[in-house]
Chains A and B, each alone.
Chain A
Amino acid sequence: MSQTNAPPAGVGDLPESAVSTRSISKNYGAVEALRDLSLEFPRGQLTSLLGPSGCGKTTLLKIIAGLLEPTSGEVEVNGNKVTGPGPDRAFVFQDFALLPWASVIRNVAFGLEMRGIAKSEREGIAEHYIKEVGLGGFEQSYPHELSGGMRQRVGLARALSVDAQVLLMDEPFSAVDEQTRRKFQEDLLGLVANENKTFIFVTHSIEEAVYVSDQIAILLPRPSRVSEIIRPSGFRDKGADNIRRDPEYLDIVDQIWASLRTYVE
């Protein structure tokens, strides 16, 4: 089996990191959300953060995005220390964070608008990504006219349209139906394969994590540290349809469940 449980830093055959977090701690007042968390995110790969609810996945993602200051520790993106949000990172929010007074196309183009891109150009780009996430025809709708899953896809299109190097996705498929979810997972594999982007992906679903990830970081409950890093690699090139039947895939799912169930019980 091609898994390593040791921290990946310094292991020879690993690609260089696009993002590294070094001994991050984060306290919210008396609540200790993260403690001394270090993790490397290899360039061009997808890393999942998997852990029980409230263990600090969103917190970690926001620290990487530069939206939150860590209490101690630091984050580097492409070798530069993170001091705030930057054009190299885009965020998909767990609660969508759409602007209710703006149409779908204006929401999707928001990031481009803030980068000063002319209206016709940014609407062209936005239209492309709206189609990409399967919302063609809803460009002029308002968020309150969409279902939860459709809103989530607007947030996804907004993050894709700014063409950032690192995509930070906070449970991006949690509100879509199972069919769409499977299609998105396949699309995501395509994106990871074709674009040289680094994906950091938060999910609650063990199957989803194993299916889409090059690397899975399992987080312990508060205060959160990385308990295990799993790198499923044996089935990655077997084709989308065969992965779910692959023995290694099934083994890893079982193994993760075994280590997480102690915290559920």
Chain B
Amino acid sequence: MPPRPICDAAAPQFTTGNIPMPNRATLLKILSAVLLFGSWEIAGRIPVSFAFPTFLESMEALYRMATDGTLWAAYAETLQPLIVGVAISAVLGITIGLWVGLSDFFNWLFSPIFIVMQAAPLAALIPLLVLAYGIGLTSKVLVVCIMAMPVIVLNTASAVRNTPESMKEMGRAFLASDLAIILKIVIPAASPVIFAGLRLGISAGFIGAILAELKITPTGVGDIITYSRSIADYPSMYAAIFSIILLAVLFLNLLEKTETVLFKGNQRGYVSD
């Protein structure tokens, strides 16, 4: 079976050079997407496994589920614990992280909890959660939080602790109050690492949301995955997985845009190569 030369179409354009910066970045993204989906298609056609559909079959299934409404109904379910969990993790995680970073006492009090939380095998904890909180929304939100919060807290705390001393000193020299130093110097200086923690935390939250639906009760996107696997409808199963990854990527991109708008000068170095 001859592999179709999908990626060759984009290659010559790329070598022409002199493409303006933003276009080049977009082009690279498109190129890597084309490469990824191209190899998925090829792997599906070989086939690697009878349970591995091609890219196009999966897209067809995705289109079908989107038009008949299954997908939207599923997301209405899945997004609840995801959004609630991620929101709680972000707000609480950053707040606790700031405390932990600013005060040795809170560091002593909270750090071990989150280090343990991050290291704990979540699948093993799920039965305990179900025992304590049942199979409803609470347990699922908790799973999302356990996945998302530790990395947000730990990143925020270490970013805060590593604020350059000279900037804080400058703040004091120009009569900034302690609160002003935190708001105007410590938080903006820590923002790149806080945002990196948020990105990692939110990705982990997506994993948590699906894991909760696979391990607690099959609802939403987790239900599509479980059900289509049980009836060997692999294209639908992969379509569901693909859609959640797509959603995660879109969301992370949105977060990155927010960061760029909020803290423009912070992208010194790595944006202007």
Q: Which residues of A contact B (CB under 8 A)?
A: 62, 65, 67, 84-87, 89-91, 93, 95, 97, 99-103, 110-111, 113-115, 142-144, 158, 162
* Interchain CA distance A115-B191 in the complex, whole Å: 25
* Interchain CA distance A91-B174 in the complex, whole Å: 8
Q: Which residues of B contact A (CB under 8 A)?
A: 166-167, 169-177, 180, 184-185, 188-189, 191, 263-266, 268-269, 272
Distance to closest chain B CB from A154 (angstroms): 12
Contact A158 B174 (CB under 8 A): yes
Chain A residues in 8 Å Cβ range of B174:
85, 90-91, 110-111, 114, 158, 162
Summarize B's interface: helix, strand, loop or mixed.
helix
Summarize A's interface: helix, strand, loop or mixed.
loop
Contact B265 A85 (CB under 8 A): no
Distance to closest chain A CB from B251 (angstroms): 24
Distance to closest chain B CB from A59 (angstroms): 13
Contact A142 B166 (CB under 8 A): no
Give 27 pairs: A residue, B residue, CB < 8 Å, sorted on A: A62-B169, A65-B173, A84-B172, A85-B173, A85-B174, A90-B173, A93-B169, A95-B166, A97-B166, A99-B184, A99-B185, A99-B188, A100-B266, A101-B188, A101-B263, A101-B265, A101-B266, A102-B188, A110-B184, A111-B174, A113-B184, A114-B174, A114-B176, A142-B265, A142-B268, A143-B265, A162-B174
Q: Which of A101, A110, A144, A158 has the most CB of B within 10 A?
A: A101
Q: Which residue of A lies closest to B171 (CB)?
A: A114
* Interchain CA distance A158-B177 in the complex, whole Å: 18
Contact status of A99 and B191, CB under 8 A, knowing A85-B173, A114-B174, A142-B265? no
Chain A residues in 8 Å Cβ range of B175:
85-87, 111, 114-115
Distance to closest chain A CB from B264 (angstroms): 7
Chain B residues in 8 Å Cβ range of A142:
264-265, 268
Distance to closest chain A CB from B188 (angstroms): 5
Contact A97 B265 (CB under 8 A): no
Chain A residues in 8 Å Cβ range of B272:
144
Contact status of A101 and B191, CB under 8 A, knowing A142-B265, A144-B269? yes
Q: Which residue of A lies closest to B175 (CB)?
A: A114
Chain A residues in 8 Å Cβ range of B189:
99, 101
Contact A97 B185 (CB under 8 A): no
Chain A residues in 8 Å Cβ range of B177:
114
Chain B residues in 8 Å Cβ range of A93:
166, 169-170, 173
Distance to closest chain A CB from B245 (angstroms): 32
Q: Which of B167, B188, B265 makes the CB contact (< 8 A) with A144?
A: B265
Distance to closest chain B CB from A93 (angstroms): 6
* Interchain CA distance A87-B189 in the complex, whole Å: 25
Distance to closest chain B CB from A141 (angstroms): 9
Q: Which of B171, B176, B265 makes the CB contact (< 8 A) with A103?
A: B265
Distance to closest chain B CB from A172 (angstroms): 14
Chain B residues in 8 Å Cβ range of A87:
175
Distance to closest chain B CB from A74 (angstroms): 19
* Interchain CA distance A142-B264 in the complex, whole Å: 8
* Interchain CA distance A217-B189 in the complex, whole Å: 37
* Interchain CA distance A116-B269 in the complex, whole Å: 33
Distance to closest chain A CB from B268 (angstroms): 3
Distance to closest chain A CB from B194 (angstroms): 13
* Interchain CA distance A87-B175 in the complex, whole Å: 7
Q: Which residue of A lies closest to B166 (CB)?
A: A97
Q: List the 6 shortest-distance A-B pairs measured between CB atoms, nearest first.
A: A144-B268, A142-B265, A97-B170, A111-B174, A101-B265, A91-B173
